[in-house]
Amino acid sequence: FRVGGSLYPQATETRDLRTLDGIWNFRKSPIDPEYGYRNEWFKQDLQKTGPVIPMPVPSSYNDVGEDVSLRDHVGLVWYDRRFYVPSWWARAEQRVWLRFSSVHYAAQVWVNGISVTYHEMGHLPFEVEISEFVHYNGSNLLTVVVDNTLLNDTVPQGTITEVYTNKTFRLKQTYTFDFFNYAGIHRTVFLYSTPRIYIDDVIVNTDIQGLTGFIVYNVTYYGSDSKNIICLVQLFDKNDTQVVAAQECAGLLEIGNANFWWPYLMHPDPGYLYTMKASLIGPRGELIDTYYQKIGIRTVTWTNTSVFLNDKPLYLRGFGMHEDSDLRGKGWDPVLWVKNFNLLRWTGANAFRTSHYPYAEEIYQLADEQGIMIIDECPSVDTDIFTDSLLKKHKQSLQELIHRDKNHPSVIMWSISNEPRSQLKRADAYFGEVVRHVKSMDLSRPVTIAIAQNYQYDKSAQHLDVISFNRYNGWYEDTGSVANVVRKVVDEASAWHRKHNKPVLMSEYGADTIAGLHFYPEYVWSEEYQVAIMSEHFKAFDMLRQAGFFVGEFIWNFADFKTAQTITRVGGNRKGVFTRSRQPKASAHHLRARYRALAAAA
Q: Using CB under 6 A, list all residues that contact ligand GCB.
A: 177-178, 356, 418-419, 452, 470, 508, 556, 573, 575
Q: Give least dist CB 470 to ligand GCB, A.
A: 4
Cβ proximity of 140 and 83 under 8 Å: yes
Helix (H) or strand (E) holding 90: helix 87-91
Of 203, 191, 38, 200, nearest to 116 (Cα)? 191
In sequence order, the 6+-apart residues with CB closer than 8 A to the CB of 263 are 270, 309, 314, 350, 351, 371, 372, 373
Give CA–CA dist 119/148, Å, rounded.
Answer: 12
Looking at the Cβ atoms of 16 and 178, the one nearer to ligand GCB is 178
- Identity of the residue, 110 or 556, whose beta carbon is nearer to ligand GCB in the bound complex: 556
d(CA 408, CA 7): 12
Looking at the Cβ atoms of 190 and 475, the one nearer to ligand GCB is 475
Instruction: Please say whether the beta carbons of 468 and 449 come within 8 A.
Output: yes
Minimum CB separation of residue 464 from ligand GCB in Å reads 17
Q: How far is the CB of 178 from ligand GCB (least distance, A)?
A: 4
Instruction: Give the HSE-up count for residue 583: Cα atoms under 13 Å, Cβ half-sphere.
Output: 4
* Cis peptide preceding 557, ω within 30 of 0: yes
Q: Is there a contact between 402 and 414 (Cβ–Cβ < 8 Å)?
A: yes
For residues 494 and 547, give the distance between their C-alpha atoms in angstroms, rounded to a whole number.
8
By the 8 A CB rule, do 1 and 62 touch?
no
What residues are paired with 314 via a beta bridge? none
Query: Sheet holding 126-129: strands in order across?
Result: 16-19, 189-194, 95-100, 126-129
Could you tell me whether strands 230-236 and 274-281 are parallel, antiparallel, or unpaired per DSSP bridges? antiparallel
> CA 225, 229, 235, 240 torsion: positive or negative?
negative
**Region of 75 on the Ramachandran plot (φ > 0 left; ψ -120 to 50 alpha; else beta):** left
Residue number with CB closer to ligand GCB (400 or 508): 508
Q: Bridge-partner residues for 120, per DSSP? A: 106
Residue closer to ligand GCB, measured from CB, 101 or 587: 587
Identity of the residue, 452 or 493, whose beta carbon is nearer to ligand GCB in the bound complex = 452
- Least distance to ligand GCB, CB of residue 575, Å: 5
The rounded distance, in Å, linking the Cα atoms of 185 and 55 is 10
d(CA 298, CA 373): 12
Q: Nearer Cβ to ligand GCB, position 452 or 466? A: 452
Q: Tell me whether residue 60 or residue 573 sits nearer to ligand GCB (CB atom).
A: 573
Least Å from the CB of residue 356 to ligand GCB = 6
Q: Single out the catalytic residue among 419, 508, 522, 527.
A: 419
Question: How far apart are CB 472 and ligand GCB at their closest, in Å?
Answer: 7
Identify the H or E element spanning 536. helix 527-547
In the DSSP assignment, the letter for residue 121 is -
State the minimum distance, in angstroms, from the CB of residue 508 to ligand GCB.
5
CB nearer to ligand GCB: pick between 134 and 531: 531
* Dihedral sign, Cα of residue 159, residue 165, residue 170, residue 172: negative
Task: Tell how strand 411-418 and strand 373-377 pair up.
Answer: parallel
End-to-end CA distance of the chain: 45
Contacts of residue 2, defined as CB under 8 A and 6 or more positions apart, other chains included, come to none
Report, in Å, the least distance between residue 471 CB and ligand GCB: 8
Q: Is 34 a catalytic residue?
A: no
Which sequence positions are flagged as catalytic?
A: 419
